[in-house]
Amino acid sequence: MFAADSIPSPQKAGAMADASAAEQAEEGGIPLSQASLQQLNAVKQQLEQEVRSLLNNQAALREAEARFQASIESLKSLCPENNGKAMLIPLTSSLYIDGHMTETKKVTVDVGTGYYIEMSVERAHKFCSRRCKLLSDNASKVEGVLKDKKKSLEQLQITMQQKMYMLQQQQEAAKSEER
């Protein structure tokens, strides 16, 4: 492409300068308008990568939150009125066996790193709610960062387009002069 050819720096040096430029621009070191197209492109790729991983993080957080919500729902059926009632126990997603409730007061909760704690339904409920809140707080934090990143990405793209346009104009001007 023409734009890349017109920048008089060899590829090797370009790659390195880009790495440092990406860092600097991230910290607000050099203004966008003064960076070369190559540098801008490097920053753009970095930003895109960050946006992608943030989106993944966010999805994982939301999924985990949904799992805890589901646990809270299940806990609701563990009440004294349901003691002794018949139920179906899922062995696989499509195979169930008969059973009945014998314990409606205590549950065993996986608290992480292989530890399980036996606790009352009420406590378990609180535990799930707390985890839910923690996860949704984190998810909204991620969302905030994501918004910022997307904004800077947009700005970057606009600057890049302007640069491309300017280069094209210069090129055409040079051509007509040659003639």
Partner 1 sequence: MAPANEQEMQKELEKFKAMQETLQKAYEARMGLIAQQQETELVKEEIDSIEDDAVVYKLVGPVMVKQNIDDAKGNVSKRLDYISGELERSNKIIAEKETELGDKQKHLIKMQQELQSS
Minimum distance from CB of 65 to partner 1 (Å)? 15
Does 13 engage in binding with partner 1 (CB under 8 A)?
A: yes
Q: Which is nearer to partner 1, 19 or 88 (CB)?
A: 19
Name which position in 1, 16, 95, 97 contacts partner 1 (CB under 8 A): 16
Binding mask 28-67 for partner 1 (x = CB under 8 A): ----------------------------------------
| Percent helix, percent strand, percent coil in the chain, to nearest 5 | 70, 15, 20
108 binds partner 1 (CB under 8 A): yes
Phi, then psi, of 10 in degrees rounded to 5: -65, 155
- Per-residue contact flags (x/-) with partner 1 for residues 113 to 142, judged by CB under 8 A: xxxxxxx-------x---------------
Which part of the chain contacts partner 1 (CB under 8 A), choosing from 9-17, 61-69, 91-99, 159-167?
9-17
For the residues of 116-143, what is the DSSP string, one character each? EEEEEHHHHHHHHHHHHHHHHHHHHHHH
- Region for 112 from its dihedrals, namely left if φ exceeds 0, alpha if ψ lies in -120 to 50, beta otherwise: left
- Kindly state the smallest distance separating residue 140's Cβ from partner 1, in Å: 17
Instruction: Determine the Cα–Cα distance for residues 23 and 28; give it in Å rounded to an integer.
Output: 9
The whole-angstrom separation of Cα 136 and Cα 69 is 11
List all residues 6 or more positions away from 152 whose beta carbon is below 8 Å from its beta carbon: 47
The residues binding partner 1 (CB under 8 A) are 10, 12-13, 16-17, 19-20, 108, 111-119, 127
